[in-house]
Amino acid sequence: MNKILQPRRQFIFECLAGGLTALLSLYSQPLWARQKVMVRSIRQSSKGDKNNVIFDLSASVHHKIFTLHNPERVVIDLNDARLSQGFDSPRFDHSLLRNIRYAKRERSDLRVVLDLARAVSPKSFLLPPAKGKGHRLLVELHPQRSKKREPVITANSEKKQLRDVVIAIDAGHGGKDPGAIGRRYKTKEKNVVLAIARRLEALVKREKGIRAVMIREGDVFLPLRTRIARARQHKADLFISIHADAARNRRARGSSVYVLSKNGATSEAARVLAENENRVDLKDDVLFGKEDQLAKVIVDLMLNATIEASIDLADGMLKSLKKTGKIHRNRVEQAGFVVLKAHDMPSVLVETAFLSNTQDERRLRSKVHQGNLAKALLGGIKHYLKGYAPPGTLLASMNRTTHVIRSGETLSAIAQRYDVEINTIRHYNALKSDRIRAGQMLQIPISAGG
């Protein structure tokens, strides 16, 4: 996997996630409700033992504050907020504050973490504009005098703050739309792919940090855009659509994996397949038809990043599917599948085999083979999440380690030691330069191949 792409794609996601969230709610909220609170600067002042951290804001903000221990931290979650352009990291002149970190949380919120030298009792106050100053959030840090700690949140409960990765499992077709029909046994695609989807759901339930949601529970017909909408309702991180192919050539066999293409299909076969899958849903493809040009540009950039992530996910699935039998296409194919047109989550379409081929049809009817296909799909999902688990998830926390900087160490040497791109370390730790100091802690992401 190209390590250079990882920080670039994650940077694109984080920069655009706020804009995309706003676009998805354009029809249900007025303009003023869609404006994010901008954090213009973070300042620090001290008087005696008490230390103040001041957030300069563009508007009043809903927030939550709590403490974590071992090491000591204060966490401030700002709802619907992000850092403004030109934001500079504050410099601390008080021994109580050691470092400040910030990152996106749950796609639209901003999390700020204050690394501390000792335990504190934090208090927060929203200050209205006054004397030429704008909206401010004041966080007072009062050092604790005794060893007794306030039972706010402990290190043991930190994992409760982390969420599971949500996998949307979409069994193709259903109801009045049977999909492909087997040549010999008259197997209906809608039935066999639902069976595979249920087996995949059962496997996901046994995995720590991953949660499955079924887009189609039974033999019901769902329009393609309804499937995308249901995935969004569940706040899915990945979208897996499961199908079984058919072709005029009875000798065609094996699995294929597809992702969305914006500029035509990668092969004639991919184009024809997309037309067949889209035929059941002939509505207009434009999802944001009423938006201005800037909105369309934001969505287009977001879609580019999503397609890149989808290709990584699909590549891992294809490699995993090779262990189950014949592969029809040795590379990830692209075409204009409507069901993959989600701008905000990596999405793949898996053609498990050809019902038009007697051997493939017989294998698809086998519960053992259905289980093997589900295991292969899970293998591809886990491979992807090892390198690209969404921030704020349990898997993301499991996929990184903490490095305490020793005297004389450089950022480049640390990157070489962990076999991680230096830009990735900068990004994970919100570093504005390569200047580091002894005793500072860095979060090091574990690479997908590590």
Max mean pLDDT among 108-112, 387-391, 446-450 falls in: 108-112
In the numeric block, which tokens belong to residue 401? Answer: 């380690």
pLDDT at 282: 42
Band of the pLDDT at 254, cuts 50, 70, 90?
A: very high
Domain segments of the chain as ranges: 38-153, 165-388, 399-445
CA atoms of 172 and 239, how far apart (whole Å): 12
Determine the number of helices (DSSP H) and then strands (DSSP E) in the chain.
10, 17
| pLDDT, tens digit, 9 for 90 and up, residues 351-370 | 999 999 999 999 999 999 99
129-133, 168-172, 193-197: which has the minimum mean pLDDT?
129-133
CA atoms of 115 and 98, how far apart (whole Å): 5
- What's the CATH code, domain 165-388? 3.40.630.40
10-16 contacts, C-beta under 8 A, 24 or more apart:
10/388, 10/427, 11/427, 12/301, 12/302, 12/304, 12/305, 13/302, 13/305, 13/309, 14/103, 14/104, 14/391, 16/298, 16/301, 16/302, 16/305
CA atoms of 368 and 402, how far apart (whole Å): 42
Instruction: Please name every residue paired with 105 in a beta bridge, in sequence order, or none if there are none.
Output: 109
In the numeric block, which tokens belong to residue 426? Answer: 């900068």
Q: Positive or negative, the Cα torsion across 29, 32, 33, 34?
A: positive
How much is the average pLDDT of 273-291? 50
The CATH architecture assigned to 38-153 reads Sandwich (2.60)
- Token pair 């071992």 in the structure block, residue: 70
- Tell me whether strands 210-214 and 165-171 are parallel, antiparallel or unpaired: parallel
Q: Is the pLDDT of residue 308 over 80?
A: yes
Among the listed residues 74, 87, 80, the one whose alpha carbon sits nearest the alpha carbon of residue 41? 87
- What's the CATH code, domain 399-445? 3.10.350.10
pTM of the predicted model, to two decimals?
A: 0.56
What DSSP line would sit under 134-178, residue for residue? -EEEEEEEEE-SSSPPPSS--GGGGGGGSBPEEEEEEE--BTTB-
